[in-house]
Chain A
Amino acid sequence: MARILTSVVLGVALIATAGCTKKRPETVLPPGDGPTSTTGDTGSGDADTSPLNEQFKREVTSDTIHFAFDQYDIDPEARSILDSQARWLIAHPNTRITIEGHCDERGTREYNLALGDRRANAAKNYLAARGVSPARITTISYGKERPVALGSDERSWALNRRAVTIVIN
């Protein structure tokens, strides 16, 4: 049943995909060079902690939804959180968001990258179905690379299986 919901909203995302394709600058990296990360909280830690994002976090039910083990369906609790995010985003039409997908440590690395992508896209599709333009939403998966809970126990894993919405200017 969960999968059915996801594939229904998938259609919305597919239509919009062309619109959110960004031209990627060609990069030649010096060894290991890249932006130095700043500390975030629930997200990857690579996220901006901009005033706008702080405002978003204060004004929505939560910036984070959670998932069951190896699942990516949006459960009722996640729905109500995403509904509050959708209302905020519709009220702030000039904002853009990134949704980060994350996994617990009990999956293999590459599979978890794909699973995190599924989770971020499930959240994106839900917001799109609630009227947020998909062109405003980018997704990124961190797989199991950026847990928020540090234990190796059911409670930590449940906290780490998440999708985090971050408002960017």
Chain B
Amino acid sequence: MMRRYLAIATAAVFMVTAGPALAQTPVPTPTPTGQDGDDEPITDLEGGRESALPIIIPVMPTNQVAGTPAGSTDALGRQLAAIIDDDLRNTGLFKTVGPNAARPIAYSEVNAPDYESWGAYSSQALVQGYVRANPNGTLTIGCYVYDVAARRQLIREGWEVQPSEWRRAAHKCADVIYTRLTGDGPYFDSQVVYISETGPKNRRIKRLAIMDQDGANHRFLTNGQRIVLTPRFSPDQRSIVYMGYENRRPAIYVYDMSARTSRLLVQEVNLNFAPRFSPDGRWILFSMATAGNTDLYRVSAGGGAPVRLTNSPGIDTGGSYSPDGSKIVFESDRGGTQQLYVMDANGGNQHRISFGGGRYATPNWSPRGDLIAFTRTGGGSFRIGVMNPSGGGENLLTESWGDEGPSWAPNGRVLMFFRAASGSGRPDLWSVDLSGHSRKIPTPLDGSDPSWGPIRP
């Protein structure tokens, strides 16, 4: 897929690995750093827009304008910078001077920033990358980042990619910048599977669809002839588990990404729904309703006999594993209305963790382990919030008529959810940062039930 040549911010490692990858790029003179807490974020970005970090992202120059299947290298240089600009700006944590506002740079400048000239932008960080078409048909995209004030190089990375995957290099670059400057993990080079919706409210046509986290490279996986709901990625991203109605039977299916076919997961004819993979990909947690009572079960990802995990009267659903697989959070109305509960992965030690007013639903355990996201309903609104796994520290991030179904970005700091409109019921996809900064995710049609996949391999 994508070959990563330089994964470094320190000079020593760079010297060892640079040779073959970037032999024909301008010869770098890396500044020795790394003894002064180099891996720490250079600024505290908590708090969102008010303290957003200024960063300059000029068009990425090319050593030579050349045509490629992805377009000419000079056009690509502008598009790559625009993607990095979008990725960073959309977090709410950066104030960007993008490729349309920053002065263009020469290819020879990539390694030797003219710090003096950038002072006028009163910006802290500067991204100078480059694009090069290789004789073997691949593209090399460089991602060099400088601290303008300290006049030193912070990041020196490069990737060789197939032209069809050129956007991933921009996301990789943005991920490295984001990680270095915020201290949080990467999430831009990831995909989202969700339900694409269209049609009248009483006969919505729902299709499984997949796209990059920014909405690019969108494609449909099913054709809309049956209702499909709640898709969720497997940890290895090779399959998607979802619920679908086939021959008037709701059931759980596993879609194979390479074979492009679905198989029935659970043979029992009861209502089976709310599927979600375990972190190791071996199990699928789901809910089964029998005679009006709904409990949590798990089944091997390959199928077989389900193992029952809860047996209380009431609706137990929305199960989600902790990242180490040892615990499960779920919702239950056993106490009267929907509330969140945590139990051991084998069903033991069930205890309630949410106690606020209204209802708590759709829990989703963060891949970082520290938070559980949920939908809280009541008082005419559906809101997305987070709390810690023992139920404390509740923080409501959104408020609208119909926010539902949060799914974590791979870094455990950003959530995607859907927002339905009152009246039409039409949903859109939104993301929200833990700082509360939210934005709409572009989709060709309406969108619901997003599931954010891991960082791509």
A106 touches B290 (CB 8 A): no
Determine whether A72 belongs to the interface, using a CB cutoff of 8 Å to chain B. Answer: yes
Per-position binary interface string of chain A over residues 20-37, scored 1 when its CB falls under 8 Å from any chain B CB and 0 otherwise: 011010111111111111
Question: Looking at A17, A70, A145, which has the most chain B CB atoms within 10 Å of its CB?
Answer: A145
Q: Please judge, given known A-B contacts A109-B229, A114-B317, whether A10 and B291 are in contact too, CB under 8 Å.
A: yes
Per-position binary interface string of chain B over residues 244-276, scored 1 when its CB falls under 8 Å from any chain A CB and 0 otherwise: 111111100101000011111001010101100
Nearest-CB residue, chain A, relative to B316: A114
Determine whether B221 belongs to the interface, using a CB cutoff of 8 Å to chain A. Answer: yes
B227 touches A110 (CB 8 A): no
Within 8 A of B (CB), among A116-169: 117-118, 120-122, 125, 139-142, 145-148, 150-152
Question: Looking at A10, A24, A34, A109, which has the most chain B CB atoms within 10 Å of its CB?
Answer: A109
Which one, B262, B269, B315, contacts A21 given CB within 8 A?
Answer: B269
Determine whether B175 belongs to the interface, using a CB cutoff of 8 Å to chain A. Answer: no
**Prevailing SS type, chain A contact patch:** loop
**Prevailing SS type, chain B contact patch:** strand
Q: Please give the distance in Å from B78's CB to the nearest CB on chain A.
A: 36
Q: Please give the distance in Å from B297's CB to the nearest CB on chain A.
A: 13
Determine whether A115 belongs to the interface, using a CB cutoff of 8 Å to chain B. Answer: yes
Nearest-CB residue, chain A, relative to B208: A32
Q: Please judge, given known A-B contacts A108-B362, A117-B289, A122-B292, whether A32 and B422 are in contact too, CB under 8 Å.
A: no
CA distance A108 to B337 in the complex (A): 12
A35 touches B247 (CB 8 A): yes
CA distance A110 to B404 in the complex (A): 11
Per-position binary interface string of chain B over residues 183-212, scored 1 when its CB falls under 8 Å from any chain A CB and 0 otherwise: 000000000000000001111100110000
A140 touches B249 (CB 8 A): yes
Q: Please judge, given known A-B contacts A17-B290, A114-B294, A151-B423, whether A32 and B201 are in contact too, CB under 8 Å.
A: no
Which one, B269, B271, B382, contacts A117 given CB within 8 A?
Answer: B271
List chain B residues, Cβ under 8 A from A152.
Answer: 401, 422-423, 425
Determine whether B55 belongs to the interface, using a CB cutoff of 8 Å to chain A. Answer: no
B230 touches A46 (CB 8 A): no
B315 touches A115 (CB 8 A): yes
Q: Please judge, given known A-B contacts A24-B267, A106-B377, whether A32 and B287 are in contact too, CB under 8 Å.
A: no
Determine whether B449 belongs to the interface, using a CB cutoff of 8 Å to chain A. Answer: yes
Question: Looking at A106, A107, A108, A145, which has the most chain B CB atoms within 10 Å of its CB?
Answer: A108
Question: Looking at B202, B290, B337, B401, which has the most chain A CB atoms within 10 Å of its CB?
Answer: B202
Interface residues on B, range: 35 or more
B294 touches A105 (CB 8 A): no
A141 touches B250 (CB 8 A): yes
CA distance A21 to B290 in the complex (A): 11
CA distance A37 to B224 in the complex (A): 11
B202 touches A29 (CB 8 A): no
Determine whether B331 belongs to the interface, using a CB cutoff of 8 Å to chain A. Answer: yes
A140 touches B201 (CB 8 A): no
Within 8 A of A (CB), among B219-249: 220-230, 243-249
Question: Looking at A22, A111, A120, which has the most chain B CB atoms within 10 Å of its CB?
Answer: A111
CA distance A147 to B287 in the complex (A): 23
List chain A residues, Cβ under 8 A from B10.
Answer: none
A109 touches B449 (CB 8 A): yes
Determine whether B145 belongs to the interface, using a CB cutoff of 8 Å to chain A. Answer: no
Determine whether A89 belongs to the interface, using a CB cutoff of 8 Å to chain B. Answer: no
Which one, A30, A110, A140, contacts B248 given CB within 8 A?
Answer: A140
Per-position binary interface string of chain B over residues 431-455, scored 1 when its CB falls under 8 Å from any chain A CB and 0 otherwise: 0000000000000000001000000
Per-position binary interface string of chain A over residues 82-118, scored 1 when its CB falls under 8 Å from any chain B CB and 0 otherwise: 0000000000000000100000011111110111011
Q: Please give the distance in Å from B261's CB to the nearest CB on chain A.
A: 6
CA distance A44 to B203 in the complex (A): 8
Q: Please give the distance in Å from A157's CB to the nearest CB on chain B.
A: 12
Which one, A10, A29, A108, A141, contacts B246 given CB within 8 A?
Answer: A29
Nearest-CB residue, chain B, relative to A134: B291
List chain B residues, Cβ under 8 A from A39.
Answer: 203
Which one, B223, B255, B331, B338, contacts A33 given CB within 8 A?
Answer: B223
Determine whether B96 belongs to the interface, using a CB cutoff of 8 Å to chain A. Answer: no
Q: What are 11 sample pairs from A and B whose C-beta atoms fall under 8 A apart? A: A24-B267, A34-B245, A110-B287, A111-B315, A111-B338, A113-B250, A113-B273, A113-B317, A117-B271, A140-B248, A150-B200
Query: 12 additional contacts, CB 8 Å, given A105-B425, A150-B200?
Result: A17-B290, A29-B246, A32-B221, A34-B247, A108-B405, A113-B250, A114-B315, A117-B289, A139-B271, A146-B202, A152-B422, A152-B423
The 5 lowest CB-CB distance pairs between A and B, nearest first, are A32-B222, A32-B223, A121-B292, A34-B226, A108-B361
Contact surface of B with A, Cβ cutoff 8 Å? 200-204, 207-208, 220-230, 243-250, 253, 255, 260-264, 267, 269, 271, 273-274, 287, 289-292, 294, 315, 317-318, 331, 333, 337-338, 359, 361-362, 375, 377, 382, 401-402, 404-405, 420, 422-423, 425, 449
